[in-house]
Amino acid sequence: MAATVGPESIWLWIGTIGMTLGTLYFVGRGRGVRDRKMQEFYIITIFITTIAAAMYFAMATGFGVTEVMVGDEALTIYWARYADWLFTTPLLLLDLSLLAGANRNTIATLIGLDVFMIGTGAIAALSSTPGTRIAWWAISTGALLALLYVLVGTLSKNARNRAPEVASLFGRLRNLVIALWFLYPVVWILGTEGTFGILPLYWETAAFMVLDLSAKVGFGVILLQSRSVLERVATPTAAPT
């Protein structure tokens, strides 16, 4: 069903510009990095902001938006968010996992929970009764809690075996993820999607934009700012034990 972009487009354009500038900044910083392990962090982080920039552009230009009928009310739903998050959130978790030195099973568990969370969140957004929307939201939030549990449990335990600078960088990024990711289901349920109509679409779009920029560009700036720490990840044998 057709839907048009309203005055909230201002926030979507700011998101597009912010993600693009973030991408250019990371590309600039990544030039000249020769170490393969270090390059991994740059490649992953550059893809995160590139995908987000493309999806923000899609939303700002009216491609990534649809209308969902809930009862006799038409909700404006930006479905492109879920397409963005389906790829960008696993990549963020991959960055964290590589930093912590997690094994494949831990990485697979985290990414599995994450894809399940975004998938069920997308079903919630497209469901046509308030009851089913909230049920799917609760299922998705359950997956988020399980995911955060792995982050503070197994992944943090892995990180403690790293060099102290690496472990401390991991700790900062993990706390940022916990604080920001927790707010997504809150904005969702208060916003248009939740059907309670507490937060109007205009302010909901602004809130998601601030969260997205912090969780992607902010995260990337902190991760990539310290070359010496990433060098430690690249050469773990050189790290004192």
User: Does residue 215 touch ligand RET according to CB under 6 A?
Assistant: yes
Calculate the CA dihedral of residues 66, 70, 74, 80 and round it to 10 degrees.
-20
Could you tell me the smallest distance in angstroms from the CB atom of residue 212 to ligand RET? Answer: 5
Residues contacting 36, CB < 8 A, separation 6+ = 234
Residue 230 is a binding residue for ligand RET (CB under 6 A): no
**Residue 88 within binding range of ligand RET, rule CB under 6 A:** yes
Of 11, 57, 85, 170, which lies in the binding site for ligand RET, with binding defined by CB under 6 A? 85
Contact window for ligand RET (CB under 6 A) among 29-37, 59-67, 97-105, 113-121: 113-121
Binding mask 161-190 for ligand RET (x = CB under 6 A): --------------------x--xx--x--
56 belongs to the binding site for ligand RET (CB under 6 A) = no
Bridge partner residues of 75 (DSSP): 68
Nearer to ligand RET by Cβ, of 193 and 231: the residue is: 193
Residues at the interface with ligand RET (CB under 6 A): 85, 88-89, 92, 117-118, 121, 124, 137, 140-141, 144, 181, 184-185, 188, 212, 215-216
